[in-house]
């Protein structure tokens, strides 16, 4: 029986083997027709690893060149597998520690490693020659003092006081071509309409020497935000008082002191500002010794502000002061006796004027021209004078800022009253009454 079976199996063995081979080939053909191997293209972003290597070890800043931060590659796999694959099933990595720097040291390439997270044993990735291309630039780090600023207009009657920022130093790192352009770093806060102190956390702004803001995308800042505070102070308008030192030349006088501006706005705490009504500038500032013409001086008014007080507008610190010096003339005027008031006259005397009084008055021409005898009013004091003729001084009532009185005198006669005649007259009257 066994022999019979073996004979059947081995009979025409060649044809039987050929049939088996043909069947396998036929199966393989059918299988490939139903699930063939196909090729497909995928595109994924490149993940950069060990980026700090370039900055820390090479002291360089790198920037990925356009078009190389995404990689496109082909994958070969069975259709049944390929149909299940998507872009996010693949990862592309560029290890910056393996960068190859070009001879110019301004560029480099990094091989991109592409892997599949699914069906890794069933797919073939054709991306072995893909590279990330980067430009290289020297790295620069620099420190800048942060300038605090408060913008906007506070509420009426208030002004911006001290503005402070913390921290006040910023370290900036990045491409030398960008860091070298930085001229200033500013922290700004808006005080529009404010009447109380304010504080905020703000992003520091970088500017070049032309005032253009610098893009910080490629830079590293030691602090992404800083704290800024601004005091809001009360304001007040006050006048200016000036004194002078010395005397002008002979026959010259000071006719006035004027300043531009005549008043200033100051700021400070309310309890400090309340008692201040004016700012006094000491006499040693305005020296008019020997002056025969106007004296003009420019002063920094901040030097004379009380402690705790500032200018509301720091740009108005410089004040122009003009001391008007004019030549004066002297003129003699008559002083009508009717305009002279007598003081100190004893009841025992009678007073009469020998003639009208005279006064020597000095002033600038236009002021002298405005003065008339009828405007001259004065007073004489005859206390302690005896009977007879006397020359007494007249105290004139004039504006001392405009007029200077030299001599002013009047001649008067004091006559003792006739007391006997008065008494006799009184006796006669009495006797007539008794009769």
Distance CA 32, CA 212 (A): 66
Is the pLDDT at 338 greater than 70? The verdict is yes
Q: Which two tokens stand for residue 108?
A: 């480099």
The string of DSSP codes covering 308-355 is: T-EESSGGG-EEEEEEEEEE-EEEEEEE-GGGEEEES--TTEEEEESS
Tell me what the mean pLDDT of segment 310-320 comes to: 93
How large is the average pLDDT for residues 20-26?
62
Q: Domain 139-234: which topology?
A: RNA Polymerase Alpha Subunit; Chain A, domain 2 (2.170.120)
Question: Please, are residues 397 and 405 in contact by the beta-carbon 8 Å criterion?
Answer: no
Higher pLDDT, 265 or 30: 265
**34 closest CA partner among 77, 78, 74, 76:** 78
Q: What is the pLDDT of residues 343-369, one digit of tens each?
A: 999 999 999 999 999 999 999 988 899
When pLDDT is averaged across residues 111-131 and rounded to a whole number, the result is: 88
Please tell me the predicted confidence (pLDDT) of residue 380.
96
Per-residue pLDDT at 28: 55
d(CA 176, CA 30): 65
The pLDDT, as a whole number, for residue 418 is 78
Q: Output the pLDDT for position 66.
A: 80
Phi, psi of 194 (to 5 degrees): -80, 150
Q: Shortest CA distance to 403 belongs to which of 307, 333, 317, 345? A: 333
Buried residues in 60-90 as b, exposed as e (16+ CB within 10 A) = bbbebeeebbebebebebbeebbeebeeebb
pLDDT for residue 255: 85
Question: Is residue 368 helix, strand or coil?
Answer: helix
Other beta carbons less than 10 A from residue 309's beta carbon = 19
**pLDDT at residue 8 above 70?**
no
Give the whole-angstrom CA distance, residue 80 versus residue 37.
9
- Per-residue model confidence (pLDDT) at position 170: 97
Place of tokens 């501006």: 261
What does the pLDDT average to over 46-66?
91
Within 47-161, where are the H helices? 52-58, 79-82
Which DSSP category does 282 fall into? Answer: P
- Model confidence at 49, pLDDT cuts 50, 70, 90, reads very high
| Cα four-point dihedral sign 230, 231, 234, 240 | negative
- The pLDDT score that the predictor gives to residue 32 is 56
Cα 229 to chain centroid distance, Å, stands at: 13
- Topology classification of domain 329-419: RNA Polymerase Alpha Subunit; Chain A, domain 2 (2.170.120)
- Return the SS3 of 361: strand
3-state secondary structure of 109: strand
* Residue 426 pLDDT level (bands cut at 50, 70, 90): very low
Q: Which of the 8 DSSP states describes residue 212? A: P
Are both 139-234 and 243-327 of the same fold? yes
Estimate the crossing angle of helix 2-10 against helix 13-34, to 10 degrees. Answer: 60
Rounded to a whole number of angstroms, the CA Rg of the chain reads 54
For the chain, give the percent of residues with pLDDT over 70: 88
- pLDDT band of 425, cuts 50, 70, 90: very low
Give tens-digit pLDDT for 374-424.
999 999 999 999 999 999 999 999 998 888 899 999 999 999 987 654 444
Q: What kind of architecture, by CATH, is found in domain 243-327?
A: Beta Complex (2.170)
Average pLDDT for 6-18: 62
pTM of the model: 0.58
Proportion of the chain above pLDDT 90, given as a percent? 75
Residue 10 has what pLDDT? Answer: 62
pLDDT at 87: 93
Tens digits of residue pLDDT in 142-182: 999 999 999 999 999 999 999 999 999 999 999 999 999 99
The token duo for 210 is 């032309």
Q: Put the strands of the sheet holding 318-327 in their side by side order.
A: 252-260, 318-327, 295-300
What is the distance between the alpha carbons of residues 367 and 420, in angstroms, rounded to a whole number?
53
Give the pLDDT mean for 217-243. 95
Q: Is the pLDDT of residue 430 over 50?
A: no
pLDDT confidence tier of residue 29, bands split at 50, 70 and 90: low
Q: Is the dihedral of CA 79, 81, 87, 93 positive or negative?
A: negative
Going by pLDDT thresholds of 50, 70 and 90, the confidence category of residue 69 is confident
Domain extents in the chain: 2-33, 37-48+67-129, 139-234, 243-327, 329-419
Q: What pLDDT does 4 receive?
A: 62
Tokens 């060649």, located at residue: 14
Confidence of residue 245 (pLDDT cuts 50, 70, 90): very high
Please report the pLDDT score of residue 129 as a whole number: 82
Is the Cβ–Cβ distance between 113 and 93 less than 8 Å? yes
**Other CB atoms within 10 A of residue 281 CB:** 22
The kind and range of the H/E element at 173 are strand 169-175
Closest to 382 in 3D by CA, of 419, 360, 352: 352
Please provide the average confidence, as pLDDT, over all residues in the chain: 89
Per-residue CA distances from 319 to 55, 106, 273, 278, 280 (Å): 55, 58, 21, 15, 13
Res 251 pLDDT > 90: no
Kindly tell me if the per-residue pLDDT of 7 is higher than 80: no
């Amino acid at each position: 029986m066994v022999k019979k079976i073996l004979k059947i199996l081995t009979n025409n063995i060649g044809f039987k083997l050929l049939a088996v081979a043909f069947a396998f080939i036929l199966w393989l053909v059918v299988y490939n027709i139903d699930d063939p191997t196909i090729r497909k293209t995928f595109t994924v972003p490149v993940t950069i690893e060990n980026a700090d290597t370039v900055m820390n070890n090479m002291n360089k800043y790198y920037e990925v060149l356009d078009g190389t931060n995404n990689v496109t590659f082909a994958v070969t796999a069975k259709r049944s597998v390929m149909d299940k694959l998507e872009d996010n099933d693949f990862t592309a990595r560029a290890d910056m520690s393996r960068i190859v720097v070009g001879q110019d040291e301004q560029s480099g390439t990094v091989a991109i490693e592409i892997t599949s997270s699914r069906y890794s044993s069933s797919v073939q990735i054709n991306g072995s020659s893909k590279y990330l291309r980067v430009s290289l630039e020297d790295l620069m780090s620099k420190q800048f003092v942060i300038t605090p600023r408060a913008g906007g207009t506070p509420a009426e009657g208030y002004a911006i006081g001290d503005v402070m920022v913390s921290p006040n130093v910023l370290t900036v790192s990045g491409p030398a071509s960008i860091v070298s352009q930085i001229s200033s770093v500013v922290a700004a806060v808006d005080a529009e309409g404010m009447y109380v102190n304010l504080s905020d956390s703000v992003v520091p702004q970088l500017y070049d020497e032309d005032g253009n803001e610098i893009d910080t995308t490629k830079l590293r800042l030691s602090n992404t935000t800083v704290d800024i505070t601004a005091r809001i102070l009360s304001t007040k308008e006050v006048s200016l008082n000036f004194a002078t030192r010395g005397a002008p030349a002979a026959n010259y006088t000071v006719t006035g002191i004027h300043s531009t501006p005549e008043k200033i706005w100051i700021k400070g705490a309310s309890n400090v500002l309340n008692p201040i009504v004016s700012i006094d500038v000491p006499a040693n500032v305005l020296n008019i010794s020997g002056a025969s013409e106007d004296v003009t001086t420019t002063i920094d008014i901040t030097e004379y502000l009380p402690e705790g007080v500032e200018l509301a507008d720091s740009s108005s610190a410089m004040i122009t002061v003009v001391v008007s010096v004019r030549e004066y003339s002297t003129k003699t005027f008559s002083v009508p006796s009717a305009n002279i008031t007598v003081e100190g006259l004893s009841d025992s005397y009678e007073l009469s004027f020998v003639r009208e009084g005279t006064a020597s008055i000095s002033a600038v021409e236009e002021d002298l021209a405005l003065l008339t005898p009828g405007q001259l009013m004065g007073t004489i004091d005859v206390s302690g004078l005896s009977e007879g003729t006397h020359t007494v001084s007249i105290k004139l009532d004039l504006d001392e800022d405009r007029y200077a009185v030299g001599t002013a005198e009047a001649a008067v006669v004091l006559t003792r009253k006739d007391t006997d005649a008065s008494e006799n007259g009184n006796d006669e009257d009495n006797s007539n009454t008794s009769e």
